[in-house]
């Protein structure tokens, strides 16, 4: 397949024609671009996100990578009680086909390549996209893009899973089969290595976990397709990978991705000459709160490995904002991310050469070693089966994450501004903090009112009929019909919350995987030891599911001699308080990454007081703006840990001191 077929891009068409905008001052650009330039964007409602998309396209972005808010990712409508404080905060709120239509206003679907970071609700979100295409007379065969649709990494690393692994796996594989047959230019899954590396995995582990997942999916689909359809399915599998700061290992990693995938498709399925197709974002784990200006350099270096090899170059690349450790990127940071890619693409001249590493003894040796180790890991996961693979990967990631943290704290891994060459650079002002809680509340109120109005004006009988058909399809042990029923519900005006509720009703409820593999052996961490018995409840409130920090803190507290209660993730304040009371804890530690920390803190403190447990010390951590630290302390939170607080030993020491004072 030619590159331009993959990206859906006419090299002679200007982006201004695509989005119907005024001509930019400069029209000059190369006749062919070697990868799609993207930024990861989405916030507020569909109108606000659409404005950001149009602005980024005008700046030179060539494809869309959509961030959905956490209620949408977790299958909740804006008026669901658990969505309070998180509507439109970490992405765009999308509920029904009219939202999707507004999101793409002025952007013709047949011309744009759209990547959607959506997993548990991927079937419904794609259904909305297909319905909007229908309404605009765009054939599904013209659509190009990707639904992430990878649940394995959600269970172990990212946390936006909804359904039991069995139903999750069925939804994922049915979507793949449907898309291959009906939306042939769409990538129905990104098997993600990205999140494994963010959770501590090394190059071979990242590849092995991603390919192990792909093999499990293809093995499940293979008996249900004829040879031609299965071959097409193999060729449509795509990946989303990470790129870190260690240049040589990362160059070898991307080359190993390309080499091993082609080899596996041939040896395991008899499908030859399969192209490894992938999008990439560089490693957010390396981006630091201290000296954020240095992140500009890190991001540029991390972009190199996945584009520098002519024979191992990703199809699409998106770069984060350099202050990502502090707050979501604003428009200026997204523009800088675009400019970083544009300099790399247009000024360095790297795309003008063949494969510059061919024949390099160093590169080829490390590439082969990485691919060999990755193959072993992938086959081991395949042999274990899907459910067991979840447990295996979760435990191994915990060990790898703790080991990386130990190396950073010991100085074995150098992080400029964190454990070496410290002190502020002072070139840029702090980012504008997203701390306008009144504006957020107003935006959320608008979305709540809008969804209620939508439900009141649609054909209720058609929605009820479509939901009944969806539930019948889900309850059927067969393996067809779920996606068709999902599309029918989208056509009828159903919402993401209604789709989810219908599947929850017949699919064993909402599923919460263990927050931590407590049997995992983790190396010694540099933490103080508590001099008395302390019980601490750890968990995540809100809908964000990233649990790396909670995993590390849990092991650190256990090594400090505390009794640790794991309260789970995606918990409401009421659930967290109930756990604290049932377990008679001294400290309740809540992690929040999605911008709802103020409402979570206020509700938790009120509940503790109402239930006579005011002596339980509440501490909070996560991506919390510095501007909100004092406000949280004034509410009664005993300690607030922001990205500035990276020393695990100091955090544990403060928790021990707080627990001792409260007694």
State pLDDT tens for residues 430-464.
666 555 667 778 889 999 999 999 999 999 999 99
- The residue with tokens 């695509």 is 18
- Mean pLDDT, residues 393-421: 91
**Is the same domain home to 204 and 57?**
yes
Q: pLDDT confidence of 622, banded at 50, 70, 90?
A: confident
Query: Residue 77 is inside which H or E element, if any?
Result: none
Q: pLDDT confidence of 14, banded at 50, 70, 90?
A: very low
DSSP state of 510: -
**Is the same domain home to 254 and 364?**
yes
Mean pLDDT of the chain: 89
Give pLDDT, residue 18.
46
Helices within 97-226 (DSSP H only) = 97-103, 122-135, 152-153, 165-182, 194-198, 203-221
Within a domain: 553: yes
Please give the Cα distance from 295 to 324 (Å, whole number). Answer: 9
**Is the same domain home to 180 and 236?**
yes
**Is the same domain home to 99 and 237?**
yes
Q: Which residues pair with 641 in a beta bridge?
A: 621
Give pLDDT, residue 432.
62
**3-class SS of residue 568:** strand
pLDDT, tens only, 99-118: 999 999 999 999 999 999 99
Please give the Cα distance from 397 to 221 (Å, whole number). Answer: 27
Give pLDDT, residue 17.
43
Task: Give yes or no for a contact between 482 and 123, defined as CB atoms under 8 angstroms apart.
Answer: yes
HSE, side-chain direction, 13 A CA sphere, residue 157: 26
Report the candidate in 174, 372, 375 with the shortest Cα–Cα distance to residue 268. 375
Question: CATH number for the domain including 542?
Answer: 3.40.50.280
Q: pLDDT confidence of 643, banded at 50, 70, 90?
A: confident
Q: pLDDT confidence of 19, banded at 50, 70, 90?
A: very low
End residue of a domain, out of 456, 486, 506: 506
Percent of the chain with pLDDT over 90: 71
Report the candidate in 256, 253, 279 with the shortest Cα–Cα distance to residue 187. 279
Report the candidate in 162, 84, 169 with the shortest Cα–Cα distance to residue 501. 162
**Is the same domain home to 402 and 499?**
no
> How many domains are contained in the chain?
3
Within a domain: 421: no
pLDDT, tens only, 202-233: 999 999 999 999 999 999 999 999 999 999 99
Q: pLDDT confidence of 7, banded at 50, 70, 90?
A: very low
Within a domain: 512: no
pLDDT, tens only, 169-187: 999 999 999 999 999 999 9
Is pLDDT at 57 greater than 50 in this prediction?
yes
HSE, side-chain direction, 13 A CA sphere, residue 126: 34
Query: 440: Cβ–Cβ under 8 A, 6 or more apart, which residues?
Result: 85, 88, 89, 434, 595
DSSP state of 286: G
Please give the Cα distance from 369 to 352 (Å, whole number). Answer: 29
Is pLDDT at 89 greater than 90 in this prediction?
no
Q: Ranked by mean pLDDT, which of 53-62, 214-223, 511-520, 539-548 comes out on top? A: 214-223
Is pLDDT at 11 greater than 90 in this prediction?
no
**Is the same domain home to 636 and 547?**
yes
**Is the same domain home to 361 and 473?**
no
Q: Which residue range forms the structural domain that includes residue 539?
A: 535-662
pLDDT, tens only, 480-518: 699 999 999 999 999 999 999 999 999 889 998 776 666
Within a domain: 151: yes
Is pLDDT at 568 greater than 60 in this prediction?
yes
CB-based contacts of 401-408 (< 8 A; 24+ apart in sequence): 401/199, 401/200, 401/548, 401/551, 401/552, 402/200, 402/522, 402/523, 402/525, 402/551, 402/552, 402/555, 403/200, 403/522, 403/523, 404/200, 405/525, 405/552, 405/648, 406/523, 406/524, 406/525, 406/526, 408/646
- Mean pLDDT, residues 616-620: 96
Positive or negative: CA dihedral 165, 168, 172, 174: positive
**Is the same domain home to 382 and 257?**
yes
Encoded tokens for 470: 């969806």
End residue of a domain, out of 454, 487, 506: 506
Query: pTM higher than 0.85 for the full model?
Result: yes
Within a domain: 431: no
**Is the same domain home to 16 and 117?**
yes
Is pLDDT at 5 greater than 70 in this prediction?
no
**Is the same domain home to 230 and 125?**
yes
**Is the same domain home to 446 and 402?**
no
- Mean pLDDT, residues 597-610: 92
End residue of a domain, out of 506, 525, 552: 506
Tell me, rounded to whole angstroms, the distance of Cα 598 from its chain centroid. 23
**Is the same domain home to 391 and 464?**
no
Give pLDDT, residue 247.
96
Please give the Cα distance from 216 to 119 (Å, whole number). Answer: 17
Weakest mean pLDDT among 239-253, 262-276, 303-317, 541-555:
541-555
Give pLDDT, residue 594.
62
- 10 Å Cβ neighbour count for 353? 9
Positive or negative: CA dihedral 297, 298, 301, 304: negative
Within a domain: 522: no
Is pLDDT at 54 greater than 90 in this prediction?
yes
Q: pLDDT confidence of 597, banded at 50, 70, 90?
A: confident
Q: pLDDT confidence of 654, banded at 50, 70, 90?
A: very high
pLDDT, tens only, 336-387: 999 999 999 999 999 899 999 999 999 999 999 999 999 999 999 999 999 9
Percent of the chain with pLDDT over 70: 92
Within a domain: 427: no
Within a domain: 513: no
Question: CATH number for the domain including 255?
Answer: 3.20.20.240
Residues present in the chain in total: 663
Is pLDDT at 621 greater than 60 in this prediction?
yes
- 10 Å Cβ neighbour count for 629? 17
């Amino acid at each position: 397949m030619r590159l331009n077929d993959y990206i859906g891009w006419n090299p002679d068409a200007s982006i201004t024609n695509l989005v119907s905008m005024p001509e930019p001052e400069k029209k000059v650009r190369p006749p062919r671009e070697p990868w799609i330039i993207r930024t990861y964007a989405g916030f507020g409602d569909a109108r606000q996100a659409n404005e950001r998309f149009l602005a980024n396209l005008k700046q030179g972005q060539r494809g869309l990578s959509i961030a959905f808010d956490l209620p949408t990712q977790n299958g909740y409508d804006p008026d669901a009680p658990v969505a309070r404080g998180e509507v439109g905060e970490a992405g765009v709120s999308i509920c029904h086909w009219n939202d999707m239509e507004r999101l793409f206003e002025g952007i013709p679907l047949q011309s744009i390549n759209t990547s959607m970071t959506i997993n548990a609700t991927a079937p419904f979100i794609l259904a909305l996209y297909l319905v909007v295409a229908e309404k605009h007379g765009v054939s599904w065969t013209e659509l190009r893009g990707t639904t992430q649709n990878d649940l394995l990494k959600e269970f172990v690393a990212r946390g936006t899973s909804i359904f039991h692994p069995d139903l999750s796996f069925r939804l994922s594989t049915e979507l793949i089969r449907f898309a291959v047959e009906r939306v042939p230019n769409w990538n129905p899954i990104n098997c993600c290595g990205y999140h494994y590396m963010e959770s501590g995995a090394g190059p071979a582990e990242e590849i092995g976990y991603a390919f192990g997942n792909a093999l499990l999916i293809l093995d499940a689909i293979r008996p249900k397709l004829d040879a031609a359809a299965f071959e097409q399915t193999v060729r449509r599998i795509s990946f989303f990978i990470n790129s870190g700061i260690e240049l040589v290992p990362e160059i070898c990693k991307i080359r190993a991705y390309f080499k091993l995938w082609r080899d596996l498709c041939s040896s395991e399925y008899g499908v030859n000459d399969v192209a490894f197709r992938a999008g990439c974002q560089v490693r957010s784990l390396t981006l630091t709160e201290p000296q954020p200006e240095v992140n500009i350099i890190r991001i540029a270096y991390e972009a190199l490995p996945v584009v520098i090899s002519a024979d191992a170059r990703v199809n699409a690349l998106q770069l984060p904002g350099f202050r990502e450790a502090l707050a979501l990127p604003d428009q200026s940071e997204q523009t800088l991310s675009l400019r970083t890619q544009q300099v790399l693409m247009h000024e360095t001249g790297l795309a003008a050469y063949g494969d510059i590493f061919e024949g390099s003894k160093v590169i080829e040796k490390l590439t082969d070693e990485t691919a060999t180790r990755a193959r072993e890991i992938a086959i081991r996961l395949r042999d274990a089966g899907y459910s067991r693979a979840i447990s295996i990967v979760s435990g191994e990631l915990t060990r790898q994450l703790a080991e990386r943290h130990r190396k950073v704290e010991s100085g074995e891994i150098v992080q400029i501004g964190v454990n070496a060459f410290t002190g502020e650079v002072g070139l840029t002002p702090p980012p504008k903090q997203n701390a306008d809680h009144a504006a957020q509340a107003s935006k959320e109120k608008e979305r709540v009112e809008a969804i209620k109005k939508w439900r009141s004006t649609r054909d209720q009988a058609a929605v009820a009929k479509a939901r009944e058909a969806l539930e019948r399809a889900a309850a059927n042990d067969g393996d067809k019909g779920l996606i068709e029923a999902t599309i029918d519900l989208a056509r009828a005006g159903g919402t993401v919350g209604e789709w989810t509720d219908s599947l929850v009703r017949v699919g064993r409820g909402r599923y919460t995987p263990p927050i931590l593999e407590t049997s995992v052996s983790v190396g010694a961490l540099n933490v103080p030891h508590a001099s008395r018995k302390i019980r601490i409840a750890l968990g995540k409130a809100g809908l964000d599911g990233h649990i790396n920090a909670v995993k590390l803190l849990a092991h650190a507290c256990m090594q400090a001699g505390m009794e640790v209660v794991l309260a789970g993730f995606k918990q409401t304040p009421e659930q967290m308080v109930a756990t604290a009371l049932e377990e008679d804890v001294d400290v309740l530690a809540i992690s929040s990454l999605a911008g709802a920390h103020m409402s979570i803190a206020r509700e938790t403190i009120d509940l503790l007081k109402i239930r006579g447990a005011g002596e339980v010390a509440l501490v909070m951590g996560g991506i919390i703006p510095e501007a909100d630290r004092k406000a949280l302390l004034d509410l009664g939170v005993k300690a607030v840990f922001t990205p500035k607080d990276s020393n695990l030993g100091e955090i544990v020491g403060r928790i021990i001191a707080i627990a001792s004072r409260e007694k």
